[in-house]
Amino acid sequence: MFLLSLGRFKMSSFKGSSLKWTGGGNCFQGQVGLGPATTLDGDRGQGPSPMDSVLLGLMGCMGIDVLMVLQKSRVLFDSLEILADAERAPEAPRFFKKVNLTFVVGGISEKNSPKLGRAVELSVDKYCSVLHSLRPDMELTTDIKSS
């Protein structure tokens, strides 16, 4: 099911997005371009909240960066999981003040640990578009663990 018609979007770099209230609670259904429909729910009953989605977007963006850098470097590993802890401002707008991401990598050899650290560093400094779209005063820390 496609929620939108791309014909009405004119910007060449814009993916054409649509978000529609479902009629219940704080629940919206949205779609970017011709991608899959997704649900956002401020009450977290039908899907992640918008801020949960921002955090997942950051985790996903950095995860993809790290995965791609490791693959290009021909680093072998079995698993990659990203865990997050985040602190939001107490008053509106409740932006993220601090985020800690822990990269848990399984099956990586000790000799490739520096490459893993470099992959995370490249994501932070250069590649992660989501990170660079967030507030510049947000404090980001990263940890790396082997499993």
For tokens 């893993």, what's the residue? 116
The whole-number pLDDT of residue 34 equals 86
The whole-number pLDDT of residue 147 equals 86
In angstroms, the first-to-last Cα distance of the chain is 40
The whole-number pLDDT of residue 8 equals 52
The whole-number pLDDT of residue 13 equals 57
CA–CA distances in Å: residue 54 to residues 49, 109, 130: 9, 32, 8
pLDDT tens for the chain, 147 residues long, are 444 454 555 555 557 899 999 999 999 999 998 889 999 999 999 999 999 999 999 999 999 999 999 999 999 999 999 999 999 999 999 999 999 999 999 999 999 999 999 999 999 999 999 999 999 999 999 999 988
The pairing of strands 139-146 and 96-106 is parallel
Q: Which domains does the chain have, with CATH numbers?
A: 6-41 (no CATH), 50-146 (3.30.300.20)
Q: pTM (2 decimals)?
A: 0.89
User: Phi/psi at 3 (nearest 5 deg)?
Assistant: -90, -15
| Token duo for residue 116 | 């893993």
